[in-house]
């Protein structure tokens, strides 16, 4: 083994393939150290990437990427992949403004053929690519990755590989895709990265030998010959012979009957950190082109970094941290997190009402349901990565008189929209939707932005929709949702810490009147009508406008549906300029207000100037939350600028004369 750093010699997978197999162990050690160091500087997903270092290197070593399509499910384990595919020099820009995405991204590299950040999409996408390859069946000289390999390669020569974690296998979409793939046939390799669910028996030399044997060309040839021979048997004996082969192989290889029933050829389980086991199996299954194959690989999350291995969550997602101690570098704040406030108040409500249950979809710590789980383990349900099931499950609970809180990230609730429409809203079942990470989320970027829920929930009959302006309001909205039993109700709150306002004592948390907002500051000329987490910026903008001589009202709508029509009517009549401010997409709160003003005739005279401020109609790339809101022009100076422009004055930094 050479002592020269091998990673310095590997820029692209083509460089990797020039190494001897005996050098790959050293390369993987260097790659693992590189990932640990990079994530310590940027934060991000650590444990999942460390667990697939050997698997990633082996795939790129055996397959001809990027011509062979490699798709990672979710993509949070792709940091080693990025290092090996020409992005090492930028790896310390992960999740930063103008830097590398924390997930795979098509526009970033030809080695990322499919962008992903939500779970269980990889097999569907891979099958689509495999079928496209088979349908085209022609030379594709226009493909940029074919040009890199000399051009003239045939599409039907391409391999397609999907790497999916066992957590994603809890999502129904993965099985829908596998069912379709088994029926479609053709080359497709799915690698099941089993790192948490312990669905495999112990792996070792014997299982590795059996996996190599089952995937080998000689066994494949024998199996095909046996199939041809059994075709000559009477139907009853033919079926018996087929089942004997299937169950016999399942018994010695450790399972796979479910995958076989879905039409896949099962290989495994094998040790995902042992290159002597991985490489020959991948080389064998690469040559299986007449049917889809599932390779069952067992890995250890956080592998190679003891501090990660010792952690219960294997340092799944981290902020910047010290490599030696493993301690995260966190900003100090006296304000509680919104997630923590929700969890604390839900626990208080559950103490009073034994019908309250908490539901989440594989995100207990991210949504605060882990705290609820500790207090009420029998009333907490983590359904796995299955948001659609989570919502309909909650609907069933509500139909029987329970009080279900379905706690999901806003971006993940999108996956369950049909269930929200058909199973909850249409039947007017009082499911409570706690939507964490509403608005922009910073380093996770466009894939995780909670931008759309106001628009896609606000259009539904029977839905009640709230958003908190500060953490004390979140206490009140959680209590209100717990006690409101007439319709489905959702409340959205941002990522991160609150504003530092005084919190209510448990016994003093108020019950909000449905559809009623509040006046936070009273003025006469400008009204800033806020919905959600921009309340603090509206308060700052009011101070800036007051300094310019424009008396400003700040109102907190609280509800997007039903709107507080009495309040909005009064604000429209008493002010010259009305500006709605929200951290959601176009088509949300501002649109609802405009619809009401138009319907009520308040726009007919033309005296009132109305402006709506919302997130831009683009997908915003990752950056810090502050940078993203600056790009979205939703900071205090931008709100001030909108008001001044409505009065025909210069921007906030200008010197235009104030209107009398």
Residue 77 pLDDT grade (very low, low, confident, very high; cuts 50, 70, 90): very high
The residues with which 467 forms a beta bridge, in sequence order, are 492
String of b and e for 532-544 (b: at least 16 CB within 10 Å)? bbbbbbbbbbbeb
Does residue 523 sit in the same domain as residue 504?
Answer: no
305 assigned to a ligand binding site: yes
Classified as helix, coil or strand, 204 is coil
Q: Could you tell me if residue 313 is inside a domain?
A: no
76 assigned to a ligand binding site: yes
Query: Is the per-residue pLDDT at 2 higher than 80?
Result: no
Question: What token pair was written down for 289?
Answer: 């082109």
Q: Could you tell me if residue 86 is inside a domain?
A: yes
How much is the pLDDT for 87? 97
Computed on alpha carbons and rounded to an integer, the radius of gyration of the chain in Å comes to: 28
Question: What token pair was written down for 601?
Answer: 């005739």
CA distance readout (Å), 275 to 23, 196, 521: 11, 20, 65
Residue 654 pLDDT grade (very low, low, confident, very high; cuts 50, 70, 90): very low
Respond yes or no on whether the N-terminal peptide bond of residue 269 is cis (omega within 30° of 0): yes
Boundary of a domain, candidates 508, 541, 576 = 508
What is the tally of helices (H) and strands (E) in the chain? 27, 19
Residue 4 pLDDT grade (very low, low, confident, very high; cuts 50, 70, 90): confident
How much is the pLDDT for 94? 94
CB 35 within 8 A of CB 176: no
- Beta strands at 609-613 and 577-582: parallel, antiparallel or unpaired: parallel
CA distance 109 to 104: 9
* List of residues 6+ apart from 459 with CB closer than 8 A: none
**Helix axes of 53-62 and 24-42: crossing angle, nearest 10 degrees:** 130
Q: Measured in whole angstroms, how far is the alpha carbon of residue 165 from the centre of its chain?
A: 14
Boundary of a domain, candidates 508, 531, 560 = 508
Closest residue by Cα to residue 557 from 604, 598, 514: 514
Q: Which of 149-153, 215-219, 624-628, 636-640 has the lowest mean pLDDT?
A: 149-153
How much is the pLDDT for 21? 97
Residue 653 pLDDT grade (very low, low, confident, very high; cuts 50, 70, 90): very low
Does residue 181 sit in the same domain as residue 112?
Answer: yes
Does residue 480 sit in the same domain as residue 542?
Answer: no
How much is the pLDDT for 30? 97
* List of residues 6+ apart from 462 with CB closer than 8 A: 425, 426, 428, 487, 488
Question: What token pair was written down for 84?
Answer: 């090996």
CB 447 within 8 A of CB 440: no
436 assigned to a ligand binding site: no
CATH number at residue 617: 3.40.50.920
How much is the pLDDT for 242? 57
Question: What token pair was written down for 260?
Answer: 């076989």
CA distance 414 to 116: 15
How much is the pLDDT for 560? 98
Q: Could you tell me if residue 653 is inside a domain?
A: no
pLDDT digits (tens, 9 = 90+) for 319-349: 777 777 767 766 667 899 999 999 999 999 9
Query: Is the per-residue pLDDT at 157 higher than 90?
Result: no
Residue 179 pLDDT grade (very low, low, confident, very high; cuts 50, 70, 90): very high
Question: What token pair was written down for 403?
Answer: 């009080």
Residue 652 pLDDT grade (very low, low, confident, very high; cuts 50, 70, 90): very low
The gap between the terminal CA atoms of the chain, to the nearest Å, is: 81
* pTM of the entire predicted model: 0.86
How much is the pLDDT for 604? 86
How much is the pLDDT for 236? 62
118 assigned to a ligand binding site: yes
pLDDT digits (tens, 9 = 90+) for 219-251: 556 556 555 655 666 666 556 555 545 544 554
Closest residue by Cα to residue 446 from 616, 318, 319, 636: 616
CB 552 within 8 A of CB 528: yes
Q: Could you tell me if residue 316 is inside a domain?
A: no
Residue 17 pLDDT grade (very low, low, confident, very high; cuts 50, 70, 90): very high
Classified as helix, coil or strand, 303 is coil
What value does the mean pLDDT take over residues 363-380? 96
CATH number at residue 52: 3.40.50.970
Q: Scanning the structure block, which residue is given the tokens 């310019």?
A: 548
Closest residue by Cα to residue 594 from 615, 579, 576, 575: 579
Does residue 494 sit in the same domain as residue 590?
Answer: no
CA distance 155 to 186: 13
- Cα angle 389, 390, 394; round to 5: 110
How much is the pLDDT for 310? 66
How much is the pLDDT for 211? 58
Neighbour count for residue 87 (Cβ, 10 Å): 21
String of b and e for 571-586 (b: at least 16 CB within 10 Å)? bbeebbbbbbbbbbbe
How much is the pLDDT for 139? 46
Q: Indicate the number of domains in the chain.
A: 3
Query: Is the per-residue pLDDT at 25 higher than 60?
Result: yes
CA distance 178 to 12: 31
CB 270 within 8 A of CB 277: yes
pLDDT digits (tens, 9 = 90+) for 585-612: 999 999 999 999 999 999 987 789 999 9
Does residue 552 sit in the same domain as residue 604?
Answer: yes
Element (H, E) at 44: strand 44-45
Does residue 461 sit in the same domain as residue 390?
Answer: yes
CA distance 442 to 420: 27
CA distance 430 to 428: 6
pLDDT digits (tens, 9 = 90+) for 524-557: 999 999 999 999 999 999 999 999 999 999 999 9
Does residue 489 sit in the same domain as residue 577?
Answer: no
Q: Could you tell me if residue 331 is inside a domain?
A: no
Question: What token pair was written down for 586?
Answer: 């176009």
Q: Could you tell me if residue 513 is inside a domain?
A: no
119 assigned to a ligand binding site: yes
Q: Could you tell me if residue 271 is inside a domain?
A: yes
pLDDT digits (tens, 9 = 90+) for 392-435: 999 999 999 999 999 999 999 999 999 999 999 999 999 999 99
Does residue 539 sit in the same domain as residue 637?
Answer: yes
Residue range of the domain that includes 475: 338-508
Does residue 112 sit in the same domain as residue 27?
Answer: yes
Q: Scanning the structure block, which residue is given the tokens 């005084």?
A: 502
As annotated, the active-site residues are 301, 387, 415
How much is the pLDDT for 233? 60
pLDDT digits (tens, 9 = 90+) for 631-651: 999 999 999 999 999 998 765
CA distance 225 to 248: 17
195 assigned to a ligand binding site: yes
Q: Measured in whole angstroms, how far is the alpha carbon of residue 289 from the centre of its chain?
A: 32
pLDDT digits (tens, 9 = 90+) for 83-139: 999 999 999 999 999 999 999 999 999 999 999 889 999 999 999 999 999 999 854
How much is the pLDDT for 305? 78
Share of the chain above pLDDT 70, in %: 83
598 assigned to a ligand binding site: no
Boundary of a domain, candidates 508, 532, 560 = 508
pLDDT digits (tens, 9 = 90+) for 243-295: 545 544 554 445 577 899 899 999 989 999 999 999 999 999 999 999 999 99
Does residue 369 sit in the same domain as residue 492?
Answer: yes
Query: Is the per-residue pLDDT at 143 higher than 90?
Result: no
How much is the pLDDT for 331? 67
Q: Could you tell me if residue 514 is inside a domain?
A: no
Residue 500 pLDDT grade (very low, low, confident, very high; cuts 50, 70, 90): very high
Element (H, E) at 388: helix 387-399
- 46 versus 58: the higher-pLDDT residue is 58
Strand order of the sheet with strand 403-409? 380-382, 356-360, 403-409, 432-436, 489-492, 464-467, 559-561
Does residue 264 sit in the same domain as residue 344?
Answer: no
* List of residues 6+ apart from 605 with CB closer than 8 A: none
Question: What token pair was written down for 633?
Answer: 């022009």
For 581, half-sphere exposure in the C-beta direction (CA atoms, 13 angstrom radius) is 37
Q: Residue 517: left if φ>0, alpha if ψ -120 to 50, beta else—which one?
A: beta
168 assigned to a ligand binding site: yes
Question: What token pair was written down for 211?
Answer: 């996996």
621 assigned to a ligand binding site: no
Query: Is the per-residue pLDDT at 660 higher than 90?
Result: no
Query: Is the per-residue pLDDT at 152 higher than 80?
Result: no
Does residue 391 sit in the same domain as residue 526?
Answer: no
Mean residue pLDDT of the chain comes to: 88
């Amino acid at each position: 083994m050479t002592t020269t750093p091998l990673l310095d010699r590997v820029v692209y997978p083509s460089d990797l393939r020039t190494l001897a197999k005996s050098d790959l162990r050293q390369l993987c050690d260097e790659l693992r150290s590189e990932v640990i160091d990079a994530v310590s500087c940027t934060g991000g997903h650590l444990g999942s990437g460390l667990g697939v270092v050997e698997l990633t290197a082996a795939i790129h070593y055996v397959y001809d990427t990027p011509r062979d399509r490699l798709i990672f499910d979710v993509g949070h384990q792709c940091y080693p992949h990025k290092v090996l595919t020409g992005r090492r020099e930028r790896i310390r820009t992960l999740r930063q403004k103008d830097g590398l995405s924390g997930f795979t991204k098509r526009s970033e590299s030809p080695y990322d053929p499919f962008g992903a950040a939500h779970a269980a999409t990889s097999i569907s996408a891979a099958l689509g690519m495999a079928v496209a390859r088979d349908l085209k069946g022609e030379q594709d000289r226009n493909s940029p990755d074919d040009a890199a390999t000399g051009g003239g390669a045939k599409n039907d020569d391409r391999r397609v590989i999907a790497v999916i974690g066992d957590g994603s296998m809890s999502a129904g979409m993965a099985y829908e895709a596998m069912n379709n793939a088994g029926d479609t046939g053709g080359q497709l390799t799915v690698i099941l990265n089993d790192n948490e669910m312990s669905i495999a028996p112990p792996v070792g030399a014997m299982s590795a030998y059996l996996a190599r044997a089952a995937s080998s060309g000689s066994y494949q040839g024998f199996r095909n010959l046996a199939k041809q021979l059994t075709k000559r048997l009477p139907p009853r004996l033919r079926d018996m012979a087929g089942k004997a082969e299937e169950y016999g192989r399942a018994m010695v290889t450790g399972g796979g009957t479910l995958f076989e029933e879905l039409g896949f050829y099962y290989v495994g389980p094998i040790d995902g950190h042992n290159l002597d086991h991985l490489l020959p199996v991948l080389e064998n299954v690469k040559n299986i082109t007449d049917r889809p194959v599932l390779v069952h690989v067992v890995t250890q999350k956080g592998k190679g970094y003891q501090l990660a291995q010792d952690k219960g969550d294997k340092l799944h997602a981290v902020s910047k941290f010290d490599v030696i101690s493993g301690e995260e570098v966190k900003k100090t704040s006296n304000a509680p997190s919104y997630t923590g406030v929700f969890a604390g108040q839900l626990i208080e409500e559950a103490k009073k009402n034994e019908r309250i249950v908490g539901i989440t979809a594989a995100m207990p710590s991210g949504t605060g349901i882990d705290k609820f789980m500790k207090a009420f383990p029998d009333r907490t349900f983590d359904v796995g990565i299955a948001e659609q099931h989570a919502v309909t499950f909650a609907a069933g609970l509500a139909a029987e008189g329970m009080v279900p809180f379905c706690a999901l990230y806003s971006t993940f609730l999108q996956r369950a929209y049909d269930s929200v429409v058909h199973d909850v809203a249409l039947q007017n079942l009082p499911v409570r939707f706690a939507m964490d990470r509403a608005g922009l989320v910073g380093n996770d970027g466009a894939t995780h932005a909670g931008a759309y829920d106001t628009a896609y929930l606000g259009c539904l009959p029977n839905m009640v929709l709230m958003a908190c302006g500060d953490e004390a309001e979140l206490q009140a909205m959680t209590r209100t949702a717990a006690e409101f039993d007439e319709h489905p109700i959702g409340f959205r709150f941002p990522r991160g810490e609150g504003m530092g306002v005084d919190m209510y004592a448990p016994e003093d948390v108020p019950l909000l009147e449905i559809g009623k907002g509040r006046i936070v500051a009273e003025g006469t000329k400008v009204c800033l009508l806020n919905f959600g987490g921009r309340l603090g910026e509206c308060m700052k903008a009011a101070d800036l406008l007051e300094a310019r001589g424009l008396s400003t009202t700040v109102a907190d709508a609280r509800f997007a549906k039903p709107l507080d029509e009495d309040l909005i009517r009064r604000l429209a009549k008493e002010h010259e300029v009305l500006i709605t401010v929200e951290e959601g997409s176009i088509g949300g709160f501002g649109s609802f207000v405009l619809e009401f003003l138009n319907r009520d005739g308040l726009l007919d005279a033309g005296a009132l100037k109305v402006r709506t401020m919302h997130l831009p109609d683009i997908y915003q790339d990752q950056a810090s939350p502050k940078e993203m809101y600056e790009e979205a022009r939703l900071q205090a100076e931008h709100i001030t600028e909108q008001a001044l422009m409505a009065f025909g004055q210069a921007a906030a930094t200008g010197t235009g004369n104030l209107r009398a």
